[in-house]
Amino acid sequence: MVNEAISNLPLFNSSDNKASTWAQVILPLAIPKTYTYTIPPHLQLKTKPGCRAEVVFGKNKKYAGIVKSISEKKPEYETKEILNIIDDEPIIYPQQLALWQWMSDYYMCSEGEVMAAALPTHLKLSSEATIVYNETFGEDFSELDNEEYLVAEALLLKKELKLPEVQQILDVNHVYPLIKKLIDKHVCYVWEAFNEKYKQKTENYVMLNPDFSSEEKLNEILNNWTKAPKQLELLLSYLHLTKTEGDVNQTSLLKKSGATVAQLKGLTEKNILLIQKRNVDRVKNLPQKISIDFELSVAQKTALDEINIIFSEKNVCLLHGVTSSGKTQLYIKQIEAYIKKGKQVLYLLPEITLTAQIIRRLQKNFGGNVAIYHSKFNNNERVELWNKIKNGEVKIVLGARSALFLPFKDIGLIIVDEEHDSSYKQQDPAPRYNARDAAIFYASLFNAKVLLGSATPSVESYYNIEKNKYGLVELKERFGGIKPPEIEIINLREVAASKKGKVILSPQLNAAIGNALANNKQVILFQNRRGYSPFLICATCGFIPHCDNCDVTLTLHKYSNKFHCHYCGSSYPKLTTCTACGTVNWIEKNFGTEKIEEELENEFPANKIARMDMDSVRGKTAHDSLIKLFEQQKIDILAGTQMVVKGLDFENVSLVGILDADGLLSFADFRANERAFQLMEQVSGRAGRKGEQGKVMIQATKINHPVLLFVQHHDFKRFYDFEIDNRRRFFYPPFSKVIKIILKHKLKEVVIAAADTLGDALKKDMNDFVVGPAAPVVNRIRNLYLMELLIKLPKDAYMLQQYKKVISNNFNLLHAEKKFRRVVLIADVDTM
Ligand SMILES: [Zn+2]
Ligand SMILES: [Zn+2]
């Protein structure tokens, strides 16, 4: 009987008489591999890759894992049984499973860690999870079956239950499928600590009591109406609205009829109208229209044709378009073409550039076909979107890097805008993936195309063009024929000689700001440090306040009047007297955005000045409202960190100032030049619009630094040639693959000994490729001491996989030693 069932599954070559099959299950944990479970006979048919399986792991912890594959080969160890299969249909497609596996292999983490990152909380169940009663469900349990009813009743009383409690109520072992049904019916939801508490969004809807739904009954009421004429008016308005608009919600009824809540209450008390609380879709339902309301310029049209020619032979094309060349318009045309073919499109942006500006633009052109996905979304919004993307209802997703994990049904195109941006790389926790690179792999599974876009392409991507792996299309002219900004480099050394202390605004820049403001233009100033003063030093004894938990100087912040640590987030009261010598003799070293703001307020008291950095845009909408105010020219000068650099188009900015170029060029990192070039070039691009050439002033002391000269001439090609030469010489990417190994422990001597042991072991197998161990510049964060090793490996896919195995094995060996058991080991592949 069982065999018959099995033989119908395509995965089995029937005839042989094996009754048992096994499933490899991915558990959402940082355990190194998948685990095999026995599929009991009654679940043989239900078990499909991509479905969630309820399993016990460890002593008695339960998890909802994902079935990765099914095999009939008996494993060599005893296996536990799958308790139940939660889903009737897989919740992810085979392409997701393939992406997870690739990420786990490539970025040296477990598939479980990828799974934990990929699935929305509501799809993750474990015995630690709490099930919470959904208050808006009400108490109508008539639709529930016996078991569901029992749990719902208990939830109604206790408001929340742990999974083991649900088991007790039902006196059965496997409860996940039942919980899934209760979640689907909106009786409850999953709540995990650390995540925001669920709030279902509801609206009141007005309904006619079904008893009066017949024409006769209704006429009877209307004809016999005596008192309360206002209520009658309201009732008539309601009847009219149901005819014209269908469902009527309370707010719009009251607005359109001009009635009061009291009058509506009168009607509900008479039991003529009923109020029903309804859950509302959080994902806004705009009409699914497409209306492209612009024409491409000749240059843009040519570029679009070139992209399509490249796509006929290659899967990846880089669009190198100078700032303001109108790349977004090209993307929109390209998206239109793909969704007309019935394909889905993923449009990736760095989180910070995912602003209302770009969202509005896409919604204007594609209406409800577009869904937005980013980290500010809550869990409910995530699940709603998840389902709509999986069934193909949503055609276009605009999102930050994690949007890559969504279950696309049939993706045709992935756009990675600002492809050079380092925020595509996830730092912590695992998977430490680069969404641009993962997107290229993911697209290949669908035979889809990838369009990378940037005004300042990454060295790696540009190298792939040289090697003929990617195609290249250039947009060299700014839209509307605006000239690139003129760039002036100001020698701070000459200025500083005549002024004491660090110069914030040189006389030249100061005059230029005044000039711009006099002409009713706006100004952007860029400094890559937030806060007031990055560190203070006692002039008497040289004492510098440091964080207690980290090896970093404390930044003075004016808004809080406190010292803040930018690494662990702790804050300290501002010191008046020196802790070491007791004198009051502080010197403020260097300057952050707050100090710039203060200086500007002194210099230009009549103008409106605003600051844009992590501190000033903490709220959900603060970033967008600041951008809006600047757009509407209610702000004259905007000073900020790299937040002001990215992806924003302003019409009226004539001057951009880069206050401290040295700070950008002095990082001890092989990507420092690249990042400095990109930032300066990008921020320069904010200057000049509408037929007027903008101006950029760069303040620096190392005025002959080659990168500054490349920026001055907007010469990406010369920058690339210079940089690729460095990379080749020192065997850095794109000529090698780098893996950074980070060790952490609360005792300095332990972490150093561990790093030495690991370093020695790795050098046995790959001596030439190991650099270090060494302590990083900041060698203690959150009370953990750090050590690092850098491994530069040749680019050979097979060898790379072998070396990664060597690293993993050595991690295990190190952890096997008792004294090193608690050392945190991290491998960061393609570190940024
Ligand atoms: Zn002192
Ligand atoms: Zn700290």
The rounded Å distance from CA 742 to ligand 2 centre is 18
Q: Return the structure tokens found at 785.
A: 């001491």
Ligand 2 centroid from CA 822, angstroms: 21
**Could you tell me how many helices (H) and strands (E) the chain has, helices first?**
26, 34
Strands 316-321 and 449-454: parallel
Higher pLDDT, 689 or 59: 59
- Cα(584) to centroid of ligand 1, in Å? 8
Question: Is the predicted pLDDT of residue 34 greater than 50, yes or no?
Answer: yes
Distance 545 CA to ligand 1 centre (A): 10
If you measure from the C-alpha of residue 403 to the centroid of ligand 1, how many angstroms do you get, rounded to a whole number?
51
Ligand 1 centroid from CA 121, angstroms: 51
Contact criterion met (CB below 8 Å) for 104 and 31: no
Calculate mean pLDDT across residues 451-473.
Answer: 96
Query: pLDDT tens, 268-302?
Result: 888 888 888 776 554 555 667 788 878 888 989 99
Residue 559 has pLDDT above 80, yes or no: yes
Ligand nearest to the CA of 550: 2
Model confidence at 17: pLDDT above 50? no
Strand order from edge to edge, sheet including 555-557: 555-557, 562-564, 571-573
pLDDT digits (tens, 9 = 90+) for 615-669: 887 766 778 888 888 988 999 999 999 888 776 778 889 999 999 998 888 777 8
Q: Exposed/middle/buried for 602, CB within 10 Å: 0-12, 13-18, 19+?
A: exposed
| Per-residue pLDDT at 5 exceeds 60 | no
Note the pTM of the prediction, 2 decimals.
Answer: 0.80
Distance 585 CA to ligand 1 centre (A): 7
Lowest mean pLDDT among 304-318, 330-344, 609-623: 609-623
The per-residue pLDDT for 396 is 95
Whether 147 shows a pLDDT value over 80: the answer reads yes
Which structure tokens are listed for 440?
């290229």
For residues 190 and 150, the model is more confident at 150
Tokens of 811: 């991690």
Unique residue bearing structure tokens 């509307």:
480
**Is residue 3's pLDDT more than 50?**
no
Closest ligand to residue 544's CA: 1
Instruction: Characterize 222-234 residue by residue with b for buried, 16 or more Cβ atoms within 10 angstroms of its Cβ, and e for exposed.
Output: eeeeeeeeebbeb
> Do 45 and 51 contact (CB within 8 A), yes or no?
no
- CA–CA distance, 580 with 593 (Å, rounded to integer): 28
Using CA atoms, how far residue 56 sits from 81, 108, 176, 613, in Å, is 8, 25, 12, 46
- What is the distance between the alpha carbons of residues 401 and 404, in angstroms, rounded to a whole number? 6
**C-alpha distances in angstroms, 216 versus 213, 221, 246, 669?**
8, 9, 21, 82
Cα(589) to centroid of ligand 1, in Å?
15
Give the whole-angstrom CA distance, residue 129 versus residue 247.
37
In what helix (H) or strand (E) does residue 773 lie, and over which residues does it extend? strand 770-774
- What is the whole-number distance in angstroms between the Cα of residue 544 and the centre of ligand 2? 14
Question: pLDDT band for position 2 (50/70/90)?
Answer: very low
Q: What is the CA(615)–ligand 2 centre distance, in A?
A: 17
- How many Å lie between the centroid of ligand 1 and the Cα of residue 663? 26
Of the bound ligands, which one is closest to the alpha carbon of residue 783?
2
Q: Is the pLDDT at 123 greater than 90, yes or no? A: no
CA atoms of 72 and 22, how far apart (whole Å): 6
Do 131 and 160 touch, CB atoms closer than 8 A? Answer: yes
Q: How far is the CA of 782 from the centre of ligand 1 (A)?
A: 26
Closest-lying ligand to the alpha carbon of 778? 2
The distance from CA 652 to its chain's CA centroid, rounded to whole angstroms, is 30
pLDDT at 197: 41
Q: Give me ligand 1 centre to Cα 527, in Å.
A: 29
How far, in Å, is the centroid of ligand 2 from the Cα of 429? 19
CB 697 within 8 A of CB 490: yes
Q: What integer pLDDT is reported at residue 193 of this predicted model?
A: 41
The string of DSSP letters for 41-107 reads GGGTTT--TTSEEEEEETTTEEEEEEEEEEE-SPPSS--PBP-EE--SS-SS-HHHHHHHHHHHHHT
Percentage of residues of the chain with pLDDT beyond 90? 48
Q: What is the mean pLDDT of residues 397-424?
A: 95
Give the ligand whose atoms come closest to the C-alpha of residue 581: 1
Q: Rounded to the nearest whole angstrom, what is the distance from the C-alpha of residue 565 to the centroid of ligand 1?
A: 20
- Rounded CA-CA distance 587/56 in Å is 61
Edge-first strand listing for the sheet containing 130-133 = 160-162, 130-133, 188-191
Residue 164 pLDDT more than 60? Answer: yes
Q: How confident is the model at residue 686 (pLDDT cuts 50, 70, 90)?
A: confident
More confident residue, 193 or 419: 419
State in Å: Cα 108 to ligand 2 middle: 28
Local confidence band at 115 (pLDDT 50, 70, 90 cut-offs): very high
Among 213-227, 254-268, 745-759, the minimum mean pLDDT is found in 213-227
Identify the nearest ligand to the CA of 552 by its number.
Answer: 2
If you measure from the C-alpha of residue 588 to the centroid of ligand 1, how many angstroms do you get, rounded to a whole number? 13
> In this model, does residue 498 exceed pLDDT 80?
no
- Tens digit of each residue's pLDDT (9 = 90 or more) over 338-378: 999 999 999 999 987 777 778 888 888 998 888 888 766 66
Q: Is the pLDDT of residue 484 over 90?
A: no
Mean confidence (pLDDT) of the chain: 87
Q: Which ligand is nearest to the CA of 572?
A: 2
Q: How confident is the model at residue 13 (pLDDT cuts 50, 70, 90)?
A: very low
Dist. CA 516–CA 522, nearest whole Å: 7
CA of 560 to the centre of ligand 2 (A): 17
Which helix (H) or strand (E) segment holds residue 390: the answer is: helix 379-390
CA of 500 to the centre of ligand 1 (A): 21
How far does the centroid of ligand 2 lie from the alpha carbon of residue 825, in Å? 21
